[in-house]
Every structure is written in structure tokens, then in C-alpha cells.
Amino acid sequence: MKRATPDHPPEVQLFTDGACSGNPGPGGWAFILRHLRSGKELERSGAEASTTNNRMELMGVIQGLEALKRPTVVEIISDSTYVLKGISEWLPKWKANGWRRRERDRWAEVKNEDLWRRLDQLLAKHQVHVTHIMGHAGHPENERCDQLAVAAYRRLTD
């Protein structure tokens, strides 16, 4: 994964979140993509009828990166330790081990491998770094993404 550097600061910030009612259950994802120079923002959200919270967290990032039209320096800002550690620590190991992970003394499948592979292809196109924020702690963009994700899955259940 290419990284953003001090010489190449982020061009965009990608705020993401996922939400699920039950795990599994109906779930939603959302992102806010902010172009730093212009201040323009793009918000999107979506939902699935039966999914997990981790899958929705991944979809927020995937959908946000897929919205970019060209290679971009991106700061991904999320409250999901699962996604951020996956990007920065686990993904390179999984790939080196044939998309397997160690589970105690044996090899196990990578959970959500389909989405991790999709995300891996997107990460290769961009210079990315990740920033962890606390969820439900008043961070405006994180709170907005949570609202969008919850509203998306509620449209499926109402």
C-alpha cells in the first residue's frame, strides 16, 4: 500500500462508518468524501438486508474509494479498529500467506475475504493513510456517517 507523506498531504479525507441491527441483520454503510482544497463534499450511503457490522464498515471504505475518479492521496478516518488494523497491519500478512490467517496453531480463512480483496485492489490505486477516531464521541463527520448508515438500513425495515 502506498502511503500519504508529509511531501504529499491528503487531497481528500474519507470519513466512513457502518451500522447493523443485529449481527447479522440489516445493515448500512456511509461515507463522506471531502476534497480539502475546494471543500466540496460527497455523501453516500447504502444498505443490505442481511449482513454484519464488519462487512458494513468495509463497504463504507470500499464505496468511498470507488467514488474517486483518479489516483488520489487519501486519509481514511474511521472508528473501526477492524478496518484500520486490517488495512495497516493484517492485509499484507494475509496476502503473503495466501489469504489465510493464523488462528492459534492452525490456518483459518480470512473473514470477509471478498471485501478485503476488493479493498486491496482499491488501496493499490491510491496513496492512503488511516486515522482512528473514537465512535459515538461527538466527531461531527463520524456522527453524520452513523446517521446515514442507520437511515439506510432502516429504509429496508420500515
Rounded CA-CA distance 112/147 in Å is 24
- The answer to whether residue 79 is catalytic is yes
Q: Which of 9, 57, 8 is nearest to 29 (CA)?
A: 57
Rounded CA-CA distance 153/76 in Å is 23
The CA-based angle 57-62-64, given to 5 degrees, is: 100
- The answer to whether residue 146 is catalytic is yes
- The answer to whether residue 17 is catalytic is yes
Q: Which of 11, 18, 126, 129 is labelled catalytic?
A: 18
- The answer to whether residue 105 is catalytic is no
Q: Which of 57, 60, 75, 141 is labelled catalytic?
A: 57
Contact predicate 2/126, CB 8 Å: yes
Q: Which of 11, 48, 75, 79 is labelled catalytic?
A: 79
- The answer to whether residue 136 is catalytic is yes
Residues with active-site annotation: 17-18, 57, 79, 136, 146
